[in-house]
């Protein structure tokens, strides 16, 4: 543990997505399930499974512009939800990245009053201060929060548009999925909110352990300092022993320990950081394929956690995706294209085949 | 009392999000009891599965806490080793051993390890099948490094005749009458406790005549998918 760990951001499930938001409010948001939103200049990806040819369902959409970059960056993770392919391995999963140049907001709000356009400029300048050095987008809830002065002009714009949608929600909501394509598998959409891993790191409930310790001391009649002095008289019969886990392996135990602070995390984001392996990593990880467009190195960007499996529900039962953890590696130089992902299977998978 | 209920601890925890497939099946109540998991020897990797199945009836007890030392180039590094035994009063027992710099952390982690190592205990009769089963159904031997522990069945009323260290796990397993014979360096408490625990867990591996009858059960893979 000599290297300094890069900060890790956790994605947690938030409120469900209502209706079908469109416009920057939609592709600015990170969400799980639902229909993939496209950036203004890029077509929404509609991939098919390599194994069975069925259209893939959107698992997660992550809005993650890079620090110091002028591009909006959107990553889509698709998976095949057919029963036969749900444990199909990397051929049933696809990751796409799309990006477009950020257009300064003042041009988009020409129709607004002078006051509003000033506020819009402030929003642009304040963009870099939004949060810490993170590449993850702020929660979409913030854009709808009237208390947030920096983006108040933007709020008015987006809520107005959403209000328009609401009027036709009853019709659009039902028609929307079918309007795009009849057979597209869909998971129920939820927004993803972001938290820092450090907030959850020290959450270990030691009350029970303390009460057990008190009972032990009462029973044996010794106090803590006596325990320590015992060590001096002890001639080393008992030695420090490494824990040997009877079932499962050491890597899995470490994985469980690390996520114990925040069990409901569904995404771990750490640009160019270290992934948290579920099972012992195979040679796949050391021999990552280089980017096919520029030949550059691929680096770890984020991973999907097993808690996501129980959160991916669909309106019509029968759609399910099973995995242990999905590690997504993207091109360092960030060209828009298909990215590479490694799937680590659930350790129990072999038992239930 | 020396022990404390697990339920009080579990109540404060947040909702469990399973990580493994077995966890998901248990949470969705497709696998209803631990016995189904034991029947197919499925490895239990999440301690919350045990919490879910056995829940309030689990009781933890700290066996022993001892400081262990490691020599570093500057000084000695002292850590605490905690032995925690866990039981429910219905024939399940587990033992966890964990070393850590702080006592409370060691106890906490040892509890998790104890849950992961829970095994079912089979009890039987010495002579007539009157009353409840009270002893090991056959002679068993457990070992851990150099320590060997034999458990020998005895008629009702004998009580547990053994050194204090294996007496605890035997009592917790619900075995009332037993002779024990130990060999090896029994002064190492860790090995002695683990050897007696190993002996108890070997009981179910023994094919006794009442298990001879053939039974057909559906594998969980078929039953749940």
B163 versus A260: which is more confidently predicted?
A: B163
B128 has a pLDDT exceeding 80 = yes
Find the CB nearest B187 among A205, A237, A346. Answer: A237
Q: Residue A156 and residue A116: Cα distance in Å, rounded?
A: 10
Q: Which residues of A touch B17 (CB under 8 A)?
A: 263-264, 306-307, 310
User: Is the separation of the CB atoms in A14 and A311 below 8 Å?
Assistant: no
Find the CB nearest A212 among B99, B107, B225. Answer: B107
Q: Residue B27 and residue B21: Cα distance in Å, rounded?
A: 10
Among chain A residues, CA nearest to B28 = A310
* 3-class DSSP assignment, residue B79: strand
For helices A152-167 and A114-125, angle between their N-to-C axes, nearest 10 degrees: 110
Bridge partners of residue A164, in order along the sequence: none
Chain centroid to Cα A60, Å, comes to 7
The least confident of A8-17, A214-223, A234-243, B71-80 is A234-243
Confidence of residue B180 (pLDDT cuts 50, 70, 90): very high
Interface of A with B in 327-346 (CB under 8 A): 346
Q: Which residues contact B35 (CB under 8 A, 6 or more apart)?
A: B120
User: Under CATH, which number does the domain B140-210 receive?
Assistant: 3.30.230.10
What confidence score (pLDDT) does residue B183 get?
A: 92
For A175, what's the count of Cα atoms within 13 Å in the CB-facing half-sphere? 7
Q: Which residues of B touch A240 (CB under 8 A)?
A: 68-70, 79, 81, 99
Give A195-231 pLDDT, tens digit per residue.
888 777 766 677 888 888 888 888 877 766 666 666 5
Q: Which residue from A36, A62, A5 is spatially nearest to A301, judged by alpha carbons?
A: A62
Domain regions of chain A by residue span: 13-102+184-202+245-351
Whether residue B190 lies within 8 A of chain A, CB to CB, comes out as yes
Give A12-26 pLDDT, tens digit per residue.
888 887 777 676 676
Q: Residue A35 and residue A315: Cα distance in Å, rounded?
A: 13
Whether residue A233 lies within 8 A of chain B, CB to CB, comes out as no
Domain regions of chain B by residue span: 21-120, 140-210
Whether B103 and A264 lie within 8 Å, measured CB to CB: no
pTM of the model: 0.74
ipTM, 2 decimals? 0.77
Place of tokens 């009323």: B157
Give A79-118 pLDDT, tens digit per residue.
887 777 666 666 778 888 877 776 665 443 433 334 343 4
Among chain B residues, CA nearest to A304 = B19
User: Is the separation of the CB atoms in A278 and A347 below 8 Å?
Assistant: yes
The CATH T-level fold of domain B21-120 is Double Stranded RNA Binding Domain (3.30.160)
B32 versus B193: which is more confidently predicted?
A: B193
Q: Residue A267 and residue A280: Cα distance in Å, rounded?
A: 20
Whether residue B18 lies within 8 A of chain A, CB to CB, comes out as yes
Place of tokens 């998901």: B24
Whether residue A259 lies within 8 A of chain B, CB to CB, comes out as yes
Mutate to test the interface with B, among A348, A349, A350 (most CBs of B within 10 A): A348
What confidence score (pLDDT) does residue A135 get?
A: 40
Bridge partners of residue B31, in order along the sequence: none
Q: Which residues of A touch B20 (CB under 8 A)?
A: 306, 346-348
Whether A206 and B104 lie within 8 Å, measured CB to CB: yes
């Amino acid at each position: 543990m000599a290297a300094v760990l890069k900060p890790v951001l956790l994605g947690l499930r938030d409120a469900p997505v209502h209706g079908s938001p469109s416009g920057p409010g939609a592709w600015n948001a990170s969400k799980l399930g639902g229909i993939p939103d496209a950036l203004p200049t890029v077509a929404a990806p509609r991939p098919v499974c390599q194994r069975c040819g069925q259209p893939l369902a959107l698992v997660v959409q992550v809005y993650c512009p890079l620090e110091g970059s002028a591009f909006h960056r959107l990553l889509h993770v698709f998976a095949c939800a057919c029963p036969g392919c749900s444990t199909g391995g990397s051929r049933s999963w696809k990751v796409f990245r799309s990006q477009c140049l950020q257009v300064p907001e003042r041009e988009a709000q020409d129709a607004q009053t002078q006051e509003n356009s000033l506020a819009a400029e402030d929003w642009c300048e304040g963009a870099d201060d939004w949060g810490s050095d993170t590449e993850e987008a702020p929660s979409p809830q913030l854009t709808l929060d009237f208390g947030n002065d920096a983006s108040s002009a933007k709020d008015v714009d987006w809520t107005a548009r959403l209000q328009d949608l609401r009027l036709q929600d009853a019709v659009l909501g039902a028609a929307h999925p079918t309007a795009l394509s009849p057979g597209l598998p869909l998971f129920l959409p939820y927004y993803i909110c972001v938290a820092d891993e450090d907030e959850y790191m020290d959450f270990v409930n030691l009350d029970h352990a303390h009460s057990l310790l008190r009972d032990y001391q009462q029973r044996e009649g010794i106090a803590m300092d006596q325990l320590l002095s015992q060590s001096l008289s002890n001639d080393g019969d008992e030695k420090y022993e490494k824990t040997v886990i009877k079932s499962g392996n050491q890597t899995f135990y470490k994985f469980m320990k690390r996520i114990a602070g925040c069990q409901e995390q569904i995404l771990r984001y750490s640009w160019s950081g270290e992934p948290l392996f579920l099972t012992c990593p195979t040679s796949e990880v050391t021999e990552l394929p280089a980017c096919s467009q520029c030949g550059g190195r691929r680096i770890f960007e984020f991973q999907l956690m097993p808690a996501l499996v129980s959160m991916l529900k669909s309106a019509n039962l029968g759609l399910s995706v099973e995995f242990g953890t999905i590690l997504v590696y993207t091109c360092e130089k960030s060209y828009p294209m298909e990215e590479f992902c490694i799937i680590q299977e659930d350790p129990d998978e072999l038992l239930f085949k | 009392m020396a022990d404390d209920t697990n339920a009080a601890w579990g109540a404060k925890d947040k909702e469990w999000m399973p990580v493994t497939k077995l966890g998901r099946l248990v949470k969705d109540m497709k696998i209803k009891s631990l016995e189904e998991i034991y029947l197919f020897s499925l490895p239990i990797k999440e301690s919350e599965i045990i919490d879910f199945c056995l829940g309030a009836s689990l009781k933890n007890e700290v066996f022993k806490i001892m400081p262990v030392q490691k020599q570093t180039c500057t000084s000695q590094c002292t850590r605490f080793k905690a032995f925690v035994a866990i039981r429910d009063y219905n024939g399940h027992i587990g033992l966890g051993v964990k070393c850590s710099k702080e006592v409370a952390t060691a106890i906490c982690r040892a509890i998790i390890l104890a849950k992961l190592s829970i095994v079912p205990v089979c009890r039987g009769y010495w002579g007539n099948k009157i009353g409840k089963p009270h002893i090991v159904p056959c002679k068993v031997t457990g070992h851990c490094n150099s320590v060997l522990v034999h458990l020998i069945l005895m008629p009702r009323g004998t009580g547990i005749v053994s050194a204090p260290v294996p007496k605890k796990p035997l009592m917790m397993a619900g075995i009332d009458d037993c002779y024990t014979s130990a060999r090896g360096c029994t002064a190492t408490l860790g090995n002695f406790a683990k050897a007696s625990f190993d002996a108890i867990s070997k009981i179910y591996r023994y094919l006794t005549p009442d298990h001879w009858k053939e039974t057909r059960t559906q594998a969980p893979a078929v039953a749940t998918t």
